[in-house]
Structure 1
Amino acid sequence: MEKFRIAKKSNGTYFGPCLEMINRHGLISGATGTGKTITMKLFVESLSQKGIPTFVVDVKGDLNGFEIAGKSSDKLVKRLEMLAENLPDFQSFPVQYWDLFGENGLPIRTTISDMGPLLLSRLLDLNDVQTSILHTLFKLADDEGLLLLDFKDIKALVDFAYANSTSLPEGYGSLNKASLSAIMRQLNVFEQQKVSDFFGEQALEIEDFIGFDEGKGFINLVDASKLFMNPKLYSTFLLWLLSELYETFPEEGDLEQPKMVFFFDEAHLIFDKISPVLLNQIEQVVRLIRSKGIGIYFVTQSPTDIPDSVLGQLGNRIQHGLRAYTAKEIKQLKLAAQGFRVNPELDIEKALLELGVGEALVSFLDEKGVPEVTERVQILAPSSAFGHVDGVDCFKNLSLKAKYQLPLDRESAFEKLHEVASKANSARDKGKDTDKDIGKKESATPKKQAAPKRRGRKPDTMVEKVTKSFLSSLGRSVGSSLARGLLGTLKKL
């Protein structure tokens, strides 16, 4: 079974993951400044050389050197002499640049409907009551075929629900106006923070991540230096992407090599203050997505940043040095050491404190899927340029630029609900005129004894009849409601 060469031991033995086991997921962890970024860079290059596309989040803005061949330096030569290694085969790699805000790469967008209520409620930081109401609003939109594409659509739906909170069709209940107002306030806040730019069309099609150039897999690099300033949006974006991967790709079984590999940097933010329900869904996605030929690698400072239920599914591990100065850090160090397979010749806990920059403890899955014993190694050198490179053309893929650069704005919930609001206002005005005419007639005729009140449901007002008629016509035109997957995102049927 073929293995990558990621690291080297002092005795000359090379270490790296087995090609067929890469989709068993993995973890790259270590304290700040210990070499995680270089390790991830080398791993990504190795995958690209094998024709495997990758997705990488660039939080610090220092990973755009992939398409520039590296060059020698005194520091590099000195390190390679220590490892008894020759200079690497300096080369460039094909890169496709992305950026949620469209500044340093093609914009990534999704629709409100695609994201779903579970992730949107996390993004908006809603409480349990508000979250349940948001789920009800999405059910109404899904059942009636209302397209929620951008922020103005979800705001129009909230407005509609507020105006008709007690007269929605049966099955949706009565919605609390105070909670609806709170949801609207959160939407306004995030709209002012430009979070709304992430929602709209043309929505990203995950298949566009898969590309090749002269046999090398494309490196999809997301510039997240600005996105990372909004941790809630950053983590929700990664969760949405994880869900999209699961819902988009078909079952493949065990492949000779993965179809694609994703690297999620600053992964601790994904699990920060996460609800038990969402965590359970993430655990299922991570467990099941490997059979779709997708590998997921979390990059973070400590293994304890990842919940045990997810950590247990990460078979390939690269652990850089940890620092332990406080009682909490000492506890984290002990837990990190316990996550590696024991090597009788290595004190793992002690080694974690002694690892220098570029050193790591590694344990990869062998050809049978069994974790290898932990080894202390030196990480090898990448082949492309280190650090940030100025003057890179982030929009050179003309076909994708034509597809994603300019936003689209087709008819959706905003226009439909504006239509029903106009009809309701007209009905309300007509009702007022009718009441005036009835009042005039009653004043001109002698009063009769009032008829006894009938028991039963109060008849619908003119406005309620217009609203229900509108929703009923929507349902007939669409034919069926939308279906949602594990994380609440739309299924790709």
Structure 2
Amino acid sequence: MSKSDEFKQHLEQGYTFKGPSIILGTGILNNEPISHAQVKIPLKTLNRHGLIAGATGTGKTKTLQVIAEQLSLNGVPSVLMDLKGDLSGIAMPGSVNPHVEKRRDLIGIDYDPTGLPVELMTISHENGVKLRATVSEFGPVLMSQIMELNDTQRGVMALVFRYCDTHHLPLLDLKDLKKVLQYVTNEGKEEITKEFGAVSPATVNTIMRKIIELEQQGAEDFFGEPSFEVEDFVRTVDGKGVVSIIRLTDIQNRPKLFSTFMLSLLSEIYETFPEQGDAEKPKLCLFIDEAHLVFSNASKDLLEKIEAIVKLIRSKGVGVFFCTQTPTDVPDSVLGQLGLKVQHALRAFTAKDRKDISKTAENYPISAFYKTDETLTSMGIGEALVTALNEKGIPTPLAHVLLRPPVSRMDILSDQEIQTLVSKSPLVRKYNVELDRDSAFELLEKKISRAEAAAEQASAPVPKKTTSAKTAKETSLIDELSKNTMVRQIGRTIFRELTRGILGSFSGKKR
């Protein structure tokens, strides 16, 4: 048996699965693609998370595109966090050329140019479905971790949320949060001290500065209503999973906003989705491009929260995939949870680069066909080292793979195409509206005004004749809230206030 036949048999044994799978490409031996030596990934284990890594320009984004396409074609929706603006072309069919035809023939696949159902979304000012979340939905723990508060400051944040919960003050945006913080050390100081104890103005001032820092990174646009329902990520159109592309090109220099949104999304999905266990295919897959922006700016507590979510969210049928330059960008505690690894080429320009390559090679199974550290620096564009988990959860053999071409457009959409796509979206009509119902800011303003009016009335001369047995009563805060007609949004907010849990956004509900 020739070496190539032995290699092909080796891959067939390692990458043959009973359940549904997606073809990633064909194996390469001695820098030569082996015809029809297909490397596959079982859909069943894609809830075990993954990593797509490699130097700039080696094809990471196209690999992400290929996996998202194949998931969609198998009815699995996905969420793509697009920081470079490279992924919108998934909505349009690709094109056939000699390069594509050659890869198609080598891999042994059909190539049918296909545009996939795409929903363009944004958390800033990009064109697309506007994603928001309320401060109440985050809860005191997540808000404290995002702002990197110390123990004393966290205690004050917990006090604020407790006060708002018990007095039915919805915390919808950062304006509400700032107003309550001002209230606890000014007009409401006596009330707060009696109920919770004294609060240091210096501590409150520090928290206020942290909120201003968040606002400077664009969080003011993110916090508010209507808040997004994660069920809208799990949709199919004509049997194809919807690819939700969150356009983040204008927040690359605002990593705190990016990590804030990512963590809130993962927390919401975990708390909302029912337990699923290991099914034939995942319910949803999330791809986080430029993942180093999340980890390099995260505090120790935030990293622990991310690690906890990555461990737990698998049982909800959700896979999380990190796309970054080197595996060392991802903490070891998270890296150890990732079942699929697609490693593109690395460049050894410095001594540190060589050390990183040596460390990266140790993350992959030993192969009789490759010297992993040498292969890492010699791969071309569109090639990668791949290992996944088989249907029993055992790592598959390491394979040097020539990756399949995307079936959708490899270029981006034009502004006109983006406008047309967004205008047809039913979610735009649902979420791209401005809501500013009475919340903590307005209700406290009214409470303060009523207190001032009552104080003025108390200091005025008492009239001899009473006007009526029934005096004018202050409208209660609950009455103010009940007048609002937005029943769905209020219901969601109150539910979250009552059920904040281990991820900080909910509590006390055992799962």
TM range (shorter): 0.7 to 0.9
**Which residue identity lines up with residue 411 of structure 1 in the other structure?**
D
How far apart in 2 are the matches of 1:74 and 1:44? 24
CA displacement at 1:274 relative to structure 2:
2.8
Please say if 1:156 is aligned against 2:174.
Answer: no
CA displacement at 1:420 relative to structure 2:
2.0
Alignment partner, residue 72 of structure 1: 96
**Which residue identity lines up with residue 311 of structure 1 in the other structure?**
L
Task: Indicate the larger mover: 146-155 or 396-405.
Answer: 396-405
- 1:1-57 deviation per Cα after TM superposition (whole angstroms, max 9, x unaligned): 232101211223111211111111111111111110000000000000001111111
Q: Is the 8 A contact 2:25 2:404 kept in 1?
A: yes
CA displacement at 1:233 relative to structure 2:
0.3
CA displacement at 1:471 relative to structure 2:
8.7
**Structure 2 CA distance for partners of 1:144 and 1:333, relative to 1, 3 Å:** farther
Please say if 1:389 is aligned against 2:413.
Answer: yes
Partner of 1:13: helix, strand, or coil?
A: strand
Please say if 1:366 is aligned against 2:390.
Answer: yes
How far apart in 1 are the matches of 2:381 and 2:54? 10
- 1:63-85 deviation per Cα after TM superposition (whole angstroms, max 9, x unaligned): 1111211112355456657x465
Please say if 1:409 is aligned against 2:436.
Answer: yes
CA displacement at 1:277 relative to structure 2:
2.9
How far apart in 2 are the matches of 1:480 and 1:272? 30
Alignment partner, residue 9 of structure 2: none
Match of 1:426 among 448, 453, 457: 453
Mapping of residues 247-258 of structure 1, within 5 Å? 247-258=271-282
Alignment partner, residue 4 of structure 2: none
- 1:357-388 deviation per Cα after TM superposition (whole angstroms, max 9, x unaligned): 11111001011100112111111101011121
**Which residue identity lines up with residue 369 of structure 2 in the other structure?**
E
Partner of 2:322: helix, strand, or coil?
A: strand
Alignment partner, residue 135 of structure 1: 158
Alignment partner, residue 489 of structure 2: none
Alignment partner, residue 44 of structure 1: 68
Which protein is bigger by CA-based radius of gyration? 1
Task: Indicate the larger mover: 398-407 or 379-388.
Answer: 398-407
Q: Is the 8 A contact 1:113 1:490 kept in 2?
A: no
Match of 2:310 among 256, 268, 286: 286
How far apart in 1 are the matches of 2:377 and 2:496? 59
CA displacement at 1:491 relative to structure 2:
6.4
Task: Indicate the larger mover: 105-114 or 141-150.
Answer: 141-150
Partner of 1:52: helix, strand, or coil?
A: coil
Length-normalised TM-score, structure 1: 0.85
Length-normalised TM-score, structure 2: 0.83
How far apart in 2 are the matches of 1:49 and 1:321? 28
**Which residue identity lines up with residue 158 of structure 1 in the other structure?**
L
**Which residue identity lines up with residue 30 of structure 1 in the other structure?**
G
How far apart in 2 are the matches of 1:358 and 1:148? 48
Alignment partner, residue 8 of structure 1: 26
Q: Is the 8 A contact 2:107 2:404 kept in 1?
A: no
**Structure 2 CA distance for partners of 1:169 and 1:281, relative to 1, 3 Å:** same
**Structure 2 CA distance for partners of 1:165 and 1:7, relative to 1, 3 Å:** farther
Mapping of residues 91-170 of structure 1, within 5 Å? 91-163=114-186, 164-165=188-189, 167-168=191-192
| Identity level (%) | 39
CA displacement at 1:147 relative to structure 2:
0.8
- 1:234-288 deviation per Cα after TM superposition (whole angstroms, max 9, x unaligned): 1111111111110110111221111111111111222224333332232222112
- 1:78-122 deviation per Cα after TM superposition (whole angstroms, max 9, x unaligned): 6657x4657721111111110112532110000011122333334
How far apart in 1 are the matches of 2:312 and 2:496? 28
**Structure 2 CA distance for partners of 1:187 and 1:148, relative to 1, 3 Å:** same
**Structure 2 CA distance for partners of 1:275 and 1:359, relative to 1, 3 Å:** same
**What 5-or-longer segments of structure 1 have no aligned partner?**
438-465
**Which residue identity lines up with residue 433 of structure 2 in the other structure?**
L
Alignment partner, residue 440 of structure 1: none
Task: Indicate the larger mover: 199-208 or 274-283.
Answer: 274-283
How far apart in 2 are the matches of 1:84 and 1:288? 36
**Structure 2 CA distance for partners of 1:121 and 1:480, relative to 1, 3 Å:** closer
How far apart in 2 are the matches of 1:207 and 1:321? 37
How far apart in 2 are the matches of 1:277 and 1:352? 33
